[in-house]
């Protein structure tokens, strides 16, 4: 069941997201080293390297969301020129010094490999828990590896057994990725209000769990209509199009480029 929801995703993706300025980089080390291997592992790793070497990706970023508890989450899909997904990222950062990064590799839009990197930062110590899972065509894990890195030290991956908890974590991350990209489910968007910061005007959309803020132009007619009568769109779900911006000062934010009612 790991990927069923994802296969319905991509006809909608092009409507919901714009090309991002850069991808999420999830590489604690440049090379992968394993203490033991399984039959066919080299084919997996060769395919991964081919994906890493490609320069023709279409990058589709999600909105940047904040959970009511304070953690932030974002995602990105990398498609080939035919629109087929090859790679995806999901990144979650909490307020306690923990960053979790998921990297997914797909072959013919079926999950092939997943890497989960958990970075714990406490005072002067950085500890990384790095897992790599390989899947067969039936979406069942056939091998799982783990390593722990402290303050940049390197170590090979050691084979470990897969368990129900880790499989559920991957399932949940893929489901969140799909919903973020499509702006559905836990990431469905309703108008929530306006704000100002950094000399810019922002509009907030979200739900009881997650919210996102986007800069907008004061001349935007659709936003002006909402501002004049917010009750008219109460409980209305929207589909947002946007663009990622990074200013020379380092300030990063997303700008609303269009919205439509669902």
CB 76 within 8 A of CB 59: yes
Q: Does 17 reside within a domain?
A: yes
CB 190 within 8 A of CB 205: yes
Q: Does 1 reside within a domain?
A: no
Cβ neighbours, 10 Å, residue 112: 21
CB 174 within 8 A of CB 104: yes
Instruction: Give the tokens for residue 136.
Output: 């067969």
14-58: pLDDT as tens digits: 333 334 444 454 444 446 899 999 999 999 999 999 999 999 999
**Cα–Cα distance, 227 to 218 (Å, whole number):** 11
Average pLDDT over residues 215-225: 91
Mean pLDDT of all residues in the chain?
A: 88
Prediction pTM value: 0.87
Instruction: Give the tokens for residue 249.
Output: 């000062």
Residues 22, 123: one domain? Answer: yes
Q: Does 91 reside within a domain?
A: yes
Residues 147, 55: one domain? Answer: yes
Residues 153, 245: one domain? Answer: no
Instruction: Give the tokens for residue 230.
Output: 């917010």
Q: Given the DSSP bridges, would you call strands 65-67 and 189-197 parallel, antiparallel or unpaired?
A: unpaired
Q: Which of 155, 185, 215 is the last residue of a domain?
A: 185
Residues 145, 249: one domain? Answer: no
Residues 99, 130: one domain? Answer: yes
Q: Which of 145, 167, 185 is the last residue of a domain?
A: 185
Residues 15, 53: one domain? Answer: yes
**Cα–Cα distance, 189 to 237 (Å, whole number):** 5
Q: Which long-range contacts (CB under 8 A, 24 or more apart) does 255-259 make?
A: 255/214, 255/215, 255/216, 256/203, 256/214, 256/215, 256/216, 256/220, 256/223, 257/18, 258/222, 259/222
CA nearest neighbour of 185 among 2, 18, 6, 1: 6
175-207: pLDDT as tens digits: 999 999 999 999 999 999 999 998 899 999 999
Domain coverage including residue 150: 6-185
Residues 194, 165: one domain? Answer: no
């Amino acid at each position: 069941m790991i990927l069923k929801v994802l296969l319905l995703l991509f006809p909608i993706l092009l409507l919901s997201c714009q090309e991002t300025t850069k991808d999420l980089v999830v590489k604690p080390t440049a090379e992968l080293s394993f203490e033991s291997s399984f039959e066919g592992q080299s084919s997996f790793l060769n395919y991964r390297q081919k994906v890493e070497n490609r320069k023709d990706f279409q990058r589709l970023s999600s909105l940047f969301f904040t959970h009511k508890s304070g953690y932030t989450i974002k995602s990105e899909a990398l498609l080939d020129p035919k629109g087929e997904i090859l790679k995806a990222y999901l990144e979650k950062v909490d307020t306690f010094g923990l960053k979790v990064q998921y990297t997914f590799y797909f072959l013919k839009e079926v999950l092939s490999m997943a890497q989960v990197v958990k970075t714990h930062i406490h005072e002067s110590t950085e500890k990384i828990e790095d897992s790599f899972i390989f899947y067969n065509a039936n979406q069942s894990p056939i091998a799982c590896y783990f390593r722990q890195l402290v303050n940049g030290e390197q170590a090979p991956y050691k084979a470990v057994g897969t368990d129900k908890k880790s499989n559920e974590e991957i399932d949940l991350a893929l489901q969140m990725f799909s919903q973020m990209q499509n702006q559905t489910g836990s990431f469905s968007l309703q108008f929530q209000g306006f704000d100002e910061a950094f000399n810019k005007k922002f509009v907030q959309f979200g739900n009881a769990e997650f919210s996102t803020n986007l800069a907008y132009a004061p001349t935007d007619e659709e936003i002006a209509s909402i501002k004049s009568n917010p009750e008219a769109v109460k409980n209305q779900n929207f589909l947002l199009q946007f663009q990622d911006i990074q200013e020379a000062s380092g300030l990063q934010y997303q700008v609303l480029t269009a919205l439509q009612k669902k």
